[in-house]
């Protein structure tokens, strides 16, 4: 039986020196935690994304100054910053020249090379924080481990190659003694040509689960700024309750539908290899958290409410759809060609409405509906695009066979303009598309009626 835990700390957990010290205390207190995956310090990735999108010289200088300020504040708190300061300075210079290049010609590959620098810096600083606490830590460039395809901004891991890399490079470090910790980056990988890739925003959770899988770890510990997974985002509903144990399927559903606390892909390796996932707060580890496992009981009808903002509703209508074959196939072929994954869908005789999810898109946050895609869709149908929408998902168990659910939901939502409902296709969720400005109220109303 493996005793190894892989711990992951998100952006707010490594935002500054005192937050990093709290993380260092958590990992040094647990001898099983030998691999630590970090995000960039809070705010850094957003700044780097802005730089990657191409800015004028003045704006670039301002953004880089903000990046520098966050890193500098951590450097300033170290007892001995000499070695790591040189490395951070080098990275800041590199960021500057990449940002210059992006202002001339931005590209997805350049974006990934730029935004990976945030994780590079946080991990270098964290190694020094650990060393100053007397812990043994080695820094590993995760790009030598996590192999991916070349889909910049949302790369897919190559599991076999990642396994080989881990066997060759990580396992020997773990085998050399029983107290050296490996500190490495979440979110990033490397394609077969040696170019940096990223797994999509929030992807560090996914990285941690991938590494846990190739290292045959006993669990993945996701340390964040909330003490577990709640019945809904506690920022929206302060009365939300912590869920102590939940199933992989339930957590995957919540993550897919926007519960930001876990990246949607995190559960893939966990399910595949049956690795329990813990979610807890790095600021309050004593508060415990949520354990996500294969088959915990009970499984309540209503589990949680997830919210995903920034949804786009595309309505395609074509009279030729009436009694015709192949229309949907055509539409899906076009979407697949543009690497767009459809989220929810409803159809009528002459139209089909689908929602697209911007939040699940590439690291750069680029628009999904490109002019080329719209032009191709317009060749087969009329196209209407609505934005400013949010998807509210009620996640639970056996929702399709539980009597009275539709009534309960519709009664609660009477006062709101619901644009689309998807109910019946999945036993585990009911999705409602609402105006973004009403989304928080819809979540609060549903939570009050179904959970409180």
What residues line the site for ligand ASP (CB under 6 A)? 10-11, 39-40, 45, 118, 186-187, 201-204
Q: Give the E-state strand segments of 159-239 in sequence order.
A: 181-185, 188-190, 196-198, 219-224
11 belongs to the binding site for ligand ADP (CB under 6 A): yes
* Whole-number Cα distances in Å, 238 to 116, 152, 253, 284: 34, 37, 22, 17
For 95-203, strand residue ranges (E) read: 137-140, 181-185, 188-190, 196-198
Closer Cβ to ligand ASP, 11 or 396, answer by number: 11
Q: Which residues contact 319 (CB under 8 A, 6 or more apart)?
A: 350
Question: By the 8 A CB rule, do 252 and 209 touch?
Answer: no
Q: Which of 232, 355, 390, 397 binds ligand ADP (CB under 6 A)?
A: 232
Q: Are 395 and 304 in contact (CB under 8 A)?
A: yes
Q: Which is nearer to ligand ADP, 233 or 357 (CB)?
A: 233
Running DSSP on this structure, what letter comes out for residue 431? Answer: E
Residues lying near Mg ion in the complex (CB under 5 A) are found at 10, 202
| Cα 6 from chain centre | 17
Name which of 234 and 300 has its Cβ closer to ligand ADP. Answer: 234
> Given the complex with ligand ADP, which of 11 and 54 has the nearer CB atom?
11
Q: Which of residues 31-70 bind ligand ADP (CB under 6 A)?
A: 39
State the nearest-atom distance from the C-beta of 203 to ligand ASP, in Å.
5
Closest separation in Å from C-beta 94 to ligand ADP: 24
Length of the chain measured in residues? 452
The nearer residue to ligand ADP, 187 or 327, going by C-beta atoms, is: 187
Q: How far is the CB of 251 from ligand ADP (least distance, A)?
A: 10
What residues are designated binding site for substrate? 45, 119
Closest approach of Cβ 11 to ligand ASP, in Å? 5
Please tell me what DSSP assigns to residue 167: I
At how many degrees (to 10) do helices 117-132 and 44-52 cross? 150
Q: Which member of 260, 303, 308, 419 binds ligand ADP (CB under 6 A)?
A: 260
For residue 298, whether the previous peptide bond is cis, meaning omega lies within 30 degrees of 0, is yes
Are 145 and 127 a contacting pair, CB within 8 Å?
Answer: no
Residue 303 touching ligand ADP (CB under 6 A): no
Q: Which does 12 bind (CB under 5 to 8 A by kind): Mg ion, ligand ASP, ligand ADP, none?
A: ligand ADP
Does the footprint of ligand ADP cover residue 12 (CB under 6 A)?
Answer: yes
Q: Is the dihedral of CA 319, 322, 326, 328 positive or negative?
A: positive
- Whose CB is nearest to Mg ion? 202
CB of 261 to ligand ASP, least distance (A): 11
Choose the one of ligand ASP, Mg ion, ligand ADP, none that binds residue 390, judging by a C-beta under 5 to 8 angstroms depending on kind: none
Distance in Å, CB of 82 to ligand ADP, minimum:
29
DSSP label of 323? T
3-state secondary structure of 222: strand
Query: Could you tell which of Mg ion, ligand ASP, ligand ADP, none binds residue 233, using a CB distance below 5 to 8 A set by kind?
Result: ligand ADP
- Measured from the Cβ of residue 45, the count of other Cβ atoms closer than 10 Å reads 23
* Pick from 259, 258, 263: nearest CA to 204: 263
Q: Of 125-133, 173-181, 228-236, 342-350, which segment contacts ligand ADP by CB under 6 A?
A: 228-236
DSSP H or E segment with residue 99: helix 82-104
Q: Does 280 bind ligand ADP (CB under 6 A)?
A: no
Q: How far is the CB of 341 from ligand ADP (least distance, A)?
A: 21
Q: Which residues contact ligand ADP by CB under 6 A?
A: 10-13, 39, 202, 224-226, 229-230, 232-235, 259-261, 304
């Amino acid at each position: 039986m493996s005793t190894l835990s892989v711990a992951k700390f998100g952006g707010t957990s490594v935002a500054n020196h005192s937050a990093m010290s709290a993380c260092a205390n958590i990992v040094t207190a647990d001898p099983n935690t030998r691999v630590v995956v970090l995000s960039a310090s809070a705010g850094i990735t957003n700044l780097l994304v802005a730089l990657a999108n191409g800015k004028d010289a003045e704006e670039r200088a301002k953004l880089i100054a903000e990046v520098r300020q966050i890193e500098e504040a951590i450097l300033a708190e170290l007892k001995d910053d000499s070695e790591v300061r040189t490395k951070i300075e080098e990275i800041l210079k590199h960021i500057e020249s990449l940002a210059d290049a992006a202002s001339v010609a931005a590209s997805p590959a350049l974006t990934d090379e730029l935004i990976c620098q945030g994780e590079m810096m946080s991990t270098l600083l964290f190694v020094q924080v650990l060393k100053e606490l007397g812990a043994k830590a080695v820094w590993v460039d995760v790009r030598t481990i996590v192999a991916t395809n070349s889909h910049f901004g949302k790369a897919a891991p190559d599991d076999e190659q990642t396994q080989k890399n881990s066997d060759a490079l990580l396992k020997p470090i773990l085998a050399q003694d029983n107290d050296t910790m490996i500190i490495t980056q979440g979110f990033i990988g490397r394609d077969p040509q040696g170019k940096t890739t990223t797994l999509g925003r929030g992807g560090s959770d996914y990285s941690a689960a991938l590494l846990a899988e190739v290292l045959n770890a006993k669990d993945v510990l996701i340390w964040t700024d909330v003490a577990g997974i709640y019945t809904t985002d506690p920022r929206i509903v302060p009365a939300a309750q912590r869920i102590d144990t939940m199933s992989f399927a339930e957590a995957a559903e919540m993550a897919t539908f926007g519960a930001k606390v876990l990246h949607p892909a995190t559960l893939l390796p966990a399910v595949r290899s049956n690795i329990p996932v813990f979610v807890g707060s790095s600021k309050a580890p004593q508060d415990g958290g949520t354990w996500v496992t294969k088959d915990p009981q009970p499984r309540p009808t209503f589990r949680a409410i997830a919210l995903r903002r920034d949804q786009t509703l595309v309505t395609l209508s074509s009279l030729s759809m009436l009694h015709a074959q192949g229309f949907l196939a055509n539409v899906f072929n076009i979407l697949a060609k543009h690497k767009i994954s459809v989220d929810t869908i409803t159809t009528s005789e002459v139209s089909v409405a689908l929602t697209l999810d911007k939040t699940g898109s590439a690291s750069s946050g680029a628009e999904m509906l490109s002019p080329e895609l719209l032009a191709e869709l317009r060749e087969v149908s009329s196209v209407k695009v609505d934005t400013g929408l949010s998807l509210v998902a009620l996640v639970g168990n056996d929702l399709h066979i539980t009597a009275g659910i539709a009534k309960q939901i519709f009664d609660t939502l009477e006062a709101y303009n619901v644009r689309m409902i998807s109910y019946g296709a999945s036993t585990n969720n009911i999705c409602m598309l609402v105006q973004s400005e009403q989304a928080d109220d819809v979540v609060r109303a549903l939570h009050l009626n179904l959970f409180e």
